[in-house]
């Protein structure tokens, strides 16, 4: 199979359309070809005139570990063109940035989750291009979380850098398809093109979205080290709004959760008691970890690891958002007064708790904190959102 970047490089007709044009490239460390050449070098070697590059959150180098760590602009040390940060002093391309190119190629490996900010950066690029007559090409890549849809739809008034529009947490689109949805939903008049993948099947086993054994995994951000993390992320990302550790500072970030003052075995037992049908497709294992940085640094934590590889993994049955919601609920049941929710301006949203910014509304937190609520109550709230999105997205699917 071929990703978008590989199709572009292999097609003389596509390359000819870029000839004589100033080309910008929005990329990060995972923007590589099949032979692991970075897209910048591969495009220049193919004769494309790269006039500027752009980096999303975590930067072009992908060197900044934590969230909300801003990256400065710089100059490419090899090629000499400007490298602009879209997670620094600005989040949207400025007029100066836009003046450096005629067409921008977006070559970002996404994780298939609304909160992963590359989709928001894509929206901001599309909006700026629509205003200035620039051309946008998305060099498409797989969604490693696959096609399943899960989570509450972002509510009106909860838009943020981790909530670009009314979609659920796990959206089931590729970046190219997401661009099509943005253009339709926000009524953007923009010169847009998807350089589609060739030979891509999001239902193919064993990857269900990621071509296992056919492409190397390169971290798109520092704490996205493998396919298991990508599968869990639509649930475990909610831990960024909780006092529990999500495993940052360990070798398995965002595949686990825990804290020094919980009993993971008891939490797992309570999760199975409350909603065993929410735990399909994965195995929960109690374990211990000690973060080397971030929450609970240097302290021994009792943790729950979510295993989503091997013969027990069931792609259709695994529902990471519900698994993590159930983890919160179990802790609230076992420790009613547990200080579960963090309170700080997450992604610069100053007027709400981080967990609400992450979920695009208070629905998940309200359900966790209500001692009378049941798993059926959350299902009743969420299933209509999931069904509606599954219908809406049909018109933008490519594969």
Question: What does the pLDDT average to over 147-174?
Answer: 97
Question: What pLDDT digit, counting tens, does each position of 168-219 carry?
Answer: 999 999 999 999 999 999 999 999 999 999 999 999 999 998 999 999 999 9
CA angle 10, 15, 21 (to 5 degrees): 155
- Predicted confidence at residue 68, as pLDDT, reads 64
- Predicted confidence at residue 56, as pLDDT, reads 95
Q: Where are the beta strands (DSSP E) in 190-264?
A: 191-195, 256-259
pLDDT band of 350, cuts 50, 70, 90: confident
For residue 206, whether the previous peptide bond is cis, meaning omega lies within 30 degrees of 0, is yes
Distance (Å, rounded) from C-alpha 277 to C-alpha 39? Answer: 43
The CATH architecture that domain 227-387 belongs to is Alpha-Beta Complex (3.90)
DSSP 166: S
DSSP 36: -
Q: What is the pTM of this model?
A: 0.96
Residue whose tokens read 């909300």? 68
Positive or negative, the CA dihedral 390, 394, 396, 399 is positive
φ and ψ of 186, to 5 deg: -95, 5
* Domain range summary for the chain, segments of one domain joined by +: 4-219+391-396, 227-387
Strands 50-55 and 74-75: what pairing? unpaired
Distance (Å, rounded) from C-alpha 227 to C-alpha 252? Answer: 11
Distance (Å, rounded) from C-alpha 147 to C-alpha 209? Answer: 7
- Alpha-carbon distances, residue 123 vs 84, 162, 181, 322, 343 (angstroms): 17, 12, 10, 27, 28
Tell me the fold of 4-219+391-396.
Rossmann fold (3.40.50)
Task: With a cut of 90, say whether residue 234 has pLDDT above it.
Answer: yes
């Amino acid at each position: 199979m071929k990703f978008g970047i590989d199709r572009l490089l292999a097609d003389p007709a596509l390359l000819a359309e870029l000839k004589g044009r100033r080309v910008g490239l929005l990329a990060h460390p995972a923007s590589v070809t099949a032979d692991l050449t970075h897209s910048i070098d591969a495009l220049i070697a193919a004769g494309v005139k790269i006039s500027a590059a752009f980096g999303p959150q975590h930067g072009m180098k992908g060197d900044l570990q934590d969230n909300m760590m801003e990256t400065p602009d710089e100059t490419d040390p090899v090629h000499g063109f400007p490298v602009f940060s879209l997670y620094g002093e600005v989040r949207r391309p400025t007029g100066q940035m836009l003046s450096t190119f005629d067409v921008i190629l977006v070559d970002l490996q996404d994780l298939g989750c609304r909160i992963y900010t590359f989709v928001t950066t894509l929206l901001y690029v599309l909006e700026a291009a629509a205003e200035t007559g620039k051309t946008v090409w998305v060099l498409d890549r797989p969604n490693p979380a696959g096609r399943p849809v899960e989570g509450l739809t972002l509510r009106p008034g909860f838009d943020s850098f981790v909530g670009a529009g009314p979609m659920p947490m796990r959206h089931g689109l590729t970046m190219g398809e997401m661009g099509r949805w943005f253009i339709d939903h926000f009524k953007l008049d923009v010169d847009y093109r998807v350089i589609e993948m060739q030979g891509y099947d999001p239902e193919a086993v064993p990857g269900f979205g990621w071509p296992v054994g056919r492409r190397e995994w390169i971290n798109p951000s520092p704490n996205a080290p493998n396919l298991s993390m990508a599968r869990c992320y639509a649930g475990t990302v909610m831990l960024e709004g909780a006092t529990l550790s999500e495993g940052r500072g360990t070798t398995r970030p965002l595949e686990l959760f825990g804290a020094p003052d919980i009993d993971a075995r008891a939490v797992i037992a309570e999760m199975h008691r409350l909603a065993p049908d929410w735990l399909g497709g994965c195995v929960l294992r109690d374990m211990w970890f000690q973060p080397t940085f971030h929450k609970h640094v240097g302290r021994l934590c009792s943790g729950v690891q979510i295993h989503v590889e091997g013969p027990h993994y069931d792609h259709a049955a695994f529902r990471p958002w519900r698994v993590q919601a159930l983890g919160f609920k179990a802790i609230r049941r076992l420790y009613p007064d547990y200080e579960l929710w963090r309170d700080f301006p997450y992604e610069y949203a100053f007027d709400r708790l981080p967990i609400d910014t992450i979920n695009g509304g208070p629905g998940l937190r309200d359900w966790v904190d209500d001692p009378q609520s049941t798993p059926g109550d959350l299902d009743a709230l969420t299933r209509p959102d999931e069904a509606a999105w599954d219908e809406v997205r049909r018109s933008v699917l490519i594969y």
